[in-house]
Structure 1
Amino acid sequence: MAEEQAAAQEQQPAFGIEKVYVKDLSLEIPHAPQIFIQREAPQVSIELSNATAQLEEGIYEVVVTVTVTSKIADKTVFLVEVAQAGIFQIRNVPQENIDIILGVTCPNIIFPYARETISDVVTRAGFPPVLLNPVNFEALYAQQKQEQAKANGATTH
């Protein structure tokens, strides 16, 4: 009976965070120190992407990459990029649910770490902190699926 319970537990869906870490971090201040005496307000742009990879059976890496570029006119004030990653265990979950977990749940877990890293690095570089707004990864996932469906529809006609 104990063996049956153990076997049943092995078949239960499982999700776990194995590790959250900074995979890559870059800061550039190409016009330092002159840029620190500029008085104009910079324009800030943010790019976001995420990628997934299966490391082994039931173990996945998800990487959320955030790039923040600050410019005054055509001069880059700073550029900071962080690739925040996580290793997740996902077992006994249907594939369509794994895609949602990797595209929505995992990035939602990782993003606050990336947000904190960006703010910390920018502050340590001598600039006011950049506070990134929360991201709706569910909406991004849905948009990505729609674009894939359109692309597949366009190639099959």
Structure 2
Amino acid sequence: MANKEFLIESIWATESSFSATTPVHLLKDEWQPSANLDLDVQTAEVDGKRVVNLLINVAVSIKDKEIFKLKSVHTGVFNVTGYDDKELEQITESFCPSIIYPYAREKVSAMVSSAGFPPLHLSPVDFDARYRAAKEGKA
């Protein structure tokens, strides 16, 4: 049986963009926004390493009026060895994104705050539940 190894090599913000359709100073309604979060995970193997991209898109509106949109992509590079294919898939689709997500949440909050809007705190995500649901959907 091979030795199992899991190492985080690096995590960084690969891409970030923020677009304020309605700047703060033009807001007339009370700050009760609705946020639409789109979250995706992309994985690849590059030079024997596992590369995991966490893509976050958020659109915020108030009463059907778009306020801002943001996109944030965070990438993690992991050295994962000694696992079978099923374990490896779960690690890269569930465990790795759960490691990257706190960094992405902080970046999203900072982007929104630096644009002058009240902080946007993304809720925790259960990546394991998302993974299981995706697997059941394919079955």
1:119 — aligned with what? 109
1:154 — aligned with what? none
Amino acid at match of 1:78: F
1:61 — aligned with what? 51
1:71 — aligned with what? 61
Q: Residue 44 in 1 paired to residue 35 in 2?
A: yes
The 1-side partners of 2:87 and 2:33 are apart by: 42
SS at match of 1:26: strand
1:99 — aligned with what? 89
**Runs of at least 4 residues off by over 6 Å:** none
Amino acid at match of 1:81: K
The 2-side partners of 1:111 and 1:47 are apart by: 13
Compare the two structures and name the one with the higher helix fraction: 1
The 1-side partners of 2:24 and 2:79 are apart by: 45
The 1-side partners of 2:62 and 2:123 are apart by: 22
How much does 1:80 deviate?
Answer: 1.2
How much does 1:39 deviate?
Answer: 2.4
Q: Residue 16 in 1 paired to residue 20 in 2?
A: no
Amino acid at match of 2:20: I
Consecutive unaligned residues of structure 2, counting only runs of 5 or more, are: none
How much does 1:103 deviate?
Answer: 1.1
The 2-side partners of 1:139 and 1:115 are apart by: 19
Q: Which structure has the larger Rg?
A: 1
The 1-side partners of 2:51 and 2:116 are apart by: 32
Number of residue-to-residue matches in the alignment = 138
Compare the two structures and name the one with the higher strand fraction: 2
Consecutive unaligned residues of structure 1, counting only runs of 5 or more, are: 1-7, 150-157
Amino acid at match of 1:120: A
Greater relative contact order (Cα 8 A, min sep 6): structure 1 or 2?
2
Q: RMSD across aligned C-alpha pairs, in angstroms?
A: 1.5
2:135 — aligned with what? 145
| Superimposed CA distance per residue, residues 32-65 of structure 1 (whole angstroms, 9 cap, x where no aligned partner) | 3653x322322212111111011122x0110111
